[in-house]
Structure 1
Amino acid sequence: MSFPHPELPIGSFIAVICLLVCLPSHIRVRNVASTSLNLWLCIVCIINVVNSFVWANDMIVRIPVWCDISTKFIIASNLGLPAAAFSICRFLCDVAKPNAGEQTKEQKRRRALVEIFLCWGQPAIIMALHYIVQGHRFDIYEYIGCQPDFYVSWASLFIISFPPLVYCFGTFFYAGFALWYFLQRRLQFDELLYLRHPGMTTNRYLRLMVVATAEMIWGTPWYLFVLVANISEQPGLQPWVSWEYVHYDWQRVGQIPLSLMSPTERSTRLALWWTVPVSGYLFFVFFGFSEQAMKDYRYYFRLFRIRVLRQDPRLWVRCHD
């Protein structure tokens, strides 16, 4: 089996590894928003690995159930990713604002529940609502694999296109205030964070703010590009005639060879595919070399030497003495 574009599965697989390396430290501090951002990126990258491997040379309908499930997760991730970035900056803003105090256990629990709803509940709702504007079952693109379809209309704008943009701009809003609060009290910021949120350091605060903002700076233009392209391309925004009209021949599977697309269309489709792996690399750049990540690397390396290589830890002490 030949791979005309081996960089697609390889690039996404590397992103999965980078994201999994960062995941334990976010789970350990019980930060729902940053963990959710990591998980959504990881889920989409895993989908990309499978899709670009299975459909490396053709558009044959091989695993329809996989496509049914994966395309729903792709739709959900379009909201889950900006919602997670929004939740990160909202949390940072609440922690640093002048009149904030130390959060009680009840407040932390309430905040975690809100973030779970924003990062996972709403995407699940969008998954279900997608069926309203799902013109046919799914599309399969050569090299890229299964992709969701939707009937471009006013309904799809409000269900699919607008909600992610609301969270993107909300992220910039909260990130701006979080940065302003930091600059106002930067000399005492470590002490302030320790009093209000033990375990949070200035370094981690800035990393979270920068990664959430960077992900949206990278992602927002693509959301806008897809929105404008869907409206401007023929047939563009279509009227909502009826439920039966939209879902006519719903079981159909679109099979699109990239080789028959124009060079611009082909480049655009491949560029859109790379947005999530690149987001995974950005996440790793900000968290893969943090102090906590380095501790995790040393711990897992030590575990590997003990469990796999069967080395005696006492020998390491003697070697260093």
Structure 2
Amino acid sequence: MAAPTWVFSMFAFIGFACVTVPLPWHMESWNVGTCMYMIWTGLACLNLFINSVVWSHDVLDKAPVWCDISTRFMIGSAVAIPAASLCINRRLYHIASVSTVMKTRAQRRRDIMVDLSIGLGIPILEMVLQYVVQGHRFNIYEEVGCYPFTYNTPPAYPLVFAWPVAIGCVSAVYCALTIRELAQRRAQFKELLSANQNLSSGRYFRLMGLAGVEILGTVPIGCYSIYLNASAEQIEPWISWENVHSNFSRVRQYPSIVWRSSTLGENSIELSRWIVVVCALIFFAFFGFADEARKHYKIALTSAAKTLGVSTASWGNDLYVLPTALFCRFD
């Protein structure tokens, strides 16, 4: 039995908060891959949250321009999160394998441009390529909201469905190479990190854990998604561009009782949106309880306490005293 709509809406908003709150201090480290992972995941959660709230009880085409933007963003974010993970794995490998500790400004600039090309270029390219097999404008599902439509034809698999798996496989290669380099150069590890002032050994291994878990999820889930697309509907032959895009402006609307009547179809839709929330929660699990995060939480709570006129002199270093003190202020 599917969870009520409000449950997904709640978790989608929590996922948005989990990756948005830590973003400012992660941007200080200039780790493009991590920042893009947070931005893409956070915006994807927010997009899904808005859709689930606006279309929680109907399928009316009440915001067509929003749906055009929302569905195009869904197409991009489906490959953007694996692409951001690829950037993370690529950076970790380069740190573990470099022969010189210091990098020139030109080398750092080039690394940033390459990461942006992967983390932004691939999703934008995917948004363009999906239009080739976009059979009509979009669908609207009750409880889900706007949803992109990809015509189930053979070209759709290399153009759209296979990209997450391909990116995940490349990430897996980088991850394996990083582990090999670390095993061979353990004695030099601290020296290698010294060139990255904002990357401690703890953050390095947390990034490895995040990227590794993402790989373990991307490849099998991507393969399962391909299976669902191939099984839920009949694969239609490609006839022509005109055939695929005929009556392109139409919008199909599906009440929940209709789209949930197909187990494979329901699994495909629910998987595509819940996996984004899981990505956000996994990020928070790795970084939400780190020493750096607790330090920033304390700074924020201390600032809030001072604004409310609560003395912080007696709190010391105990972060968990802060909420209690704030509560007692109004007792």
Deviation at 1:299, TM superposition (A): 1.5
- Which deviates the most, 174-183 or 79-88? 174-183
Counterpart of 2:199 in structure 1 is 200
Cα distance in 1 for partners of 2:8, 2:106 equals 45
Cα distance in 1 for partners of 2:192, 2:114 equals 24
Cα distance in 2 for partners of 1:274, 1:319 equals 39
Cα distance in 2 for partners of 1:267, 1:109 equals 43
| AA aligned opposite 1:169 | C
Matched, 1:165 2:165: yes
Counterpart of 1:235 in structure 2 is 234
Cα distance in 2 for partners of 1:164, 1:273 equals 15
Q: Map 1:1-321 onto structure 2 (within 5 A).
A: 4-97=4-97, 99-194=99-194, 196-236=195-235, 238-260=236-258, 261-262=260-261, 264-265=263-264, 266-306=266-306, 308-310=307-309, 315-317=311-313
Cα distance in 1 for partners of 2:234, 2:314 equals 74
Change (3 A) 1:319 1:117: closer
Q: Deviations over 1:84-127 (max 9, x none)?
A: 10110011001101635422111111000111111112212222
Cα distance in 2 for partners of 1:220, 1:55 equals 31
Is contact 1:98–1:181 with CA below 8 Å preserved after alignment? no
Is contact 2:225–2:268 with CA below 8 Å preserved after alignment? no
Q: Deviations over 1:190-241 (max 9, x none)?
A: 23311x32332111111111101212212322221121222234322x2221
Change (3 A) 1:179 1:319: closer
| AA aligned opposite 1:239 | P
Deviation at 1:45, TM superposition (A): 0.3
Cα distance in 2 for partners of 1:229, 1:46 equals 25
| AA aligned opposite 2:312 | W
Change (3 A) 1:139 1:249: same
Deviation at 1:310, TM superposition (A): 4.4
Q: Deviations over 1:268-295 (max 9, x none)?
A: 5323321111111000000111121112
Change (3 A) 1:273 1:251: same
Cα distance in 2 for partners of 1:267, 1:154 equals 21
Deviation at 1:309, TM superposition (A): 1.3
SS at match of 2:149: coil
Cα distance in 1 for partners of 2:95, 2:286 equals 20
Q: Deviations over 1:16-74 (max 9, x none)?
A: 11111221222110111000001111011001110110111121111111110010000
SS at match of 2:140: strand
Change (3 A) 1:244 1:27: same
Task: Identify unmatched segments of 5+ residues in structure 1.
Answer: none
- Which deviates the most, 120-129 or 243-252? 120-129
Cα distance in 2 for partners of 1:95, 1:167 equals 20
Is contact 2:95–2:193 with CA below 8 Å preserved after alignment? yes
| AA aligned opposite 1:156 | A
| AA aligned opposite 1:209 | M
Change (3 A) 1:259 1:319: closer
Q: Deviations over 1:152-192 (max 9, x none)?
A: 22322222122222210111111111122223333542233
Cα distance in 2 for partners of 1:54, 1:318 equals 46
Deviation at 1:15, TM superposition (A): 0.8
Cα distance in 2 for partners of 1:94, 1:256 equals 48
Is contact 1:193–1:201 with CA below 8 Å preserved after alignment? yes
Is contact 1:137–1:251 with CA below 8 Å preserved after alignment? yes
Cα distance in 2 for partners of 1:37, 1:250 equals 33
Is contact 1:139–1:149 with CA below 8 Å preserved after alignment? yes
TM-score, with length taken from structure 1:
0.91
Cα distance in 2 for partners of 1:156, 1:63 equals 27
Task: Identify unmatched segments of 5+ residues in structure 2.
Answer: 317-331
SS at match of 2:295: helix
